[in-house]
Homo-oligomer: A and B are copies of this chain.
Amino acid sequence: MQDAYQTLIFPDVQQMLQEQDLPGLAAFCGVVHPAAVAEILEELDDSQVWTVLDQAADQLRVEIFEFISLRRQTELVESLDDARLSHLLEWMSADDRVDLLSRLPESRREGALRVIAQAERNEIRRLLSYDEDSAGAVMTTEYASLPASITVQDAISRLRLQAPNSETIYYVYILGEDRLLEGFISLRELILARPETRLSEIMQRDPIRVRATEPRTVAAQMLARYNFIAVPIVDDGDRLVGIVTHDDALDVVQEEATEDAYLQSAVAPLEDTYQETPLNVVLWKRGVWLLFLSVVALMNAHVIDHYRLSTTTEQATPVTTGLTSLILLFLPLVMASGGNAGSQSATLFIRMFALQHGDSRGGQGSSIDNSLVLREVLIGLCLGAGLALMDFTVAWLWFGRTVYESSVIAATVVTVVTLGTSAGTFFPLLFRRLGMDPAIMSNPLIAAMIDVLGVVLFYEIGTIVLG
């Protein structure tokens, strides 16, 4: 529904941009939810994005900007000078700001930081120092805090003042001297309490907390376990340094699940979504694993070779040449190459569907670009060619196969890998189109189908070249 709404509004934005209707763009930023504005902006080029964003006030501009994907954010700020960049950074929330800065080249980062006020600069540097996977790296420093001695009435007045600079005012942390975390109270409890009550009487003491150096997954699991909106993050001295909020926890859980799914299918983790990742990076992140797995499969061929030559009980002379021996030795390699490449594609596409906004069963907002499918076939061709080259060399030089025999292996591998990636793309897409769960096209099932294909191709190509 939201996506239909967006499809309706996009042409209007384009028209306003063409006609330079600045008041119209300002109204668009003000009325539509910042997340929805950000998604429309993803479709525009850099200068158009800035034209739209410049029509929004500082606060709103940054809110929209923070909903744009990190990769796109990084591209967008390239065209800003240091002064404009630091102005943007000053308005951004602490966690999003650090994410963006950690993506920028060193020189750019220092240039922007130089213009920012000393105190804020120190805080940014401190946040930048946390390990990427730590709770400290996902927390925000914009929490609401109060002393224990004040009354509920005063607390609510003070929260009004803190609201503009707090990520949430629904959870309030009670701090002692030197920001020591003493207690916790929710806005719900404040609203329900009698106005003259002191916070020390109703606050929850010794609240659950996570250390900034602990893995970010710990913070996410705490939120999941206790159904919190936020969890306090402390330093080694138990001083409050930030909070991790429910939306950060959701991001962490999604990212970790994606990373695990990729690793499990032998794809090195990607920084951005699969769609956003450039071709050369994809080839590297997938290829390095496929090459490694092919080396293991070639060791396997070596083991078969060893046994084959030593098992001569049944025949006077073992099969040492010809297509049958070639297939006996290298069929596992061919099958593994095709199956693994296909599994990678299937996992990448199934995960892409899972992360998409809107209906996972093929709603309007979740159309997969045809160019993405074509890219996948191209990736299969490149990966297959790379593997074939290695297999050819090893079969020829190491196993002492003829050039023709080695060519049969190479030709089969490149074909099987290309068809494997195509099948790994096609079947999940088909199942999704049919309204079924695309994940049913499991990696072993795709591998099993590729196995049959591998046998057929190996024999057919072998017969043509050698027969």
Footprint of B on A, CB under 8 Å?
Answer: 1-2, 33, 35, 156, 159-160, 163, 169-170, 187-188, 191-192, 208-211, 214-215, 217-218, 221-227, 229, 246-247, 249-251, 253-254, 256-257, 259-261, 263-266, 289, 293, 296-297, 299-300, 303-304, 307-308, 311, 313-315, 318-319, 321-324, 327-328, 331-332, 335-336, 339-340, 343, 346-347, 350-351, 354, 356-361, 363, 437, 439-440, 442-445, 447-449, 451-452, 455-456, 459, 462-463, 466-467
Contact = CB atoms under 8 A, between A and B. Distances in A.
Contacts of A253: 250, 253-254, 257
Contact of A218 (B350, B359, B437): B359
Contacts of A323: 311, 313-314
A214 to B, nearest CB: 7
A445 to B, nearest CB: 7
A250 B265 contact: no
Dominant SS among interface residues on chain A: helix
A85 B260 CA distance: 41
Contact of A226 (B35, B223, B322, B328): B35
9 contacts: A223-B247, A224-B250, A249-B250, A253-B257, A264-B350, A289-B442, A332-B332, A343-B443, A443-B443
Contacts of A247: 223-224, 227, 246
A281 B462 CA distance: 45
A444 B263 contact: no
Contact of A225 (B343, B357, B459): B357
B332 A322 contact: no
A358 B324 contact: no
Given A289-B442, A323-B314, A451-B336, A170 B156 contact: no
A318 B327 CA distance: 14
A459 B324 contact: no
A361 to B, nearest CB: 7
Given A221-B357, A250-B250, A359-B215, A442 B328 contact: no
A340 B448 CA distance: 10
Contact of A265 (B222, B443, B456): B443
A296 to B, nearest CB: 4
Contact of A336 (B2, B224, B447): B447
Nearest to A193: B160
A33 B226 contact: yes
A256 to B, nearest CB: 6
Contact of A300 (B224, B251, B260, B452): B452
Top 10 A-B residue pairs of the complex, sorted by shortest distance between their CB atoms: A314-B322, A257-B257, A263-B439, A227-B247, A307-B459, A296-B448, A246-B246, A266-B442, A266-B444, A260-B439
Which one of A169, A215, A253 has the greatest number of beta carbons of chain B within 10 Å?
Answer: A253
A330 to B, nearest CB: 12
A303 to B, nearest CB: 5
B314 A318 contact: no
Contact of A250 (B217, B246, B359): B246
A428 B307 CA distance: 30
A356 B225 CA distance: 10
A320 to B, nearest CB: 11
A253 to B, nearest CB: 5
Contact of A442 (B250, B257, B265, B319): B265
A229 B187 CA distance: 14
A463 to B, nearest CB: 6
Nearest to A344: B444
Which one of A249, A343, A444 has the greatest number of beta carbons of chain B within 10 Å?
Answer: A444
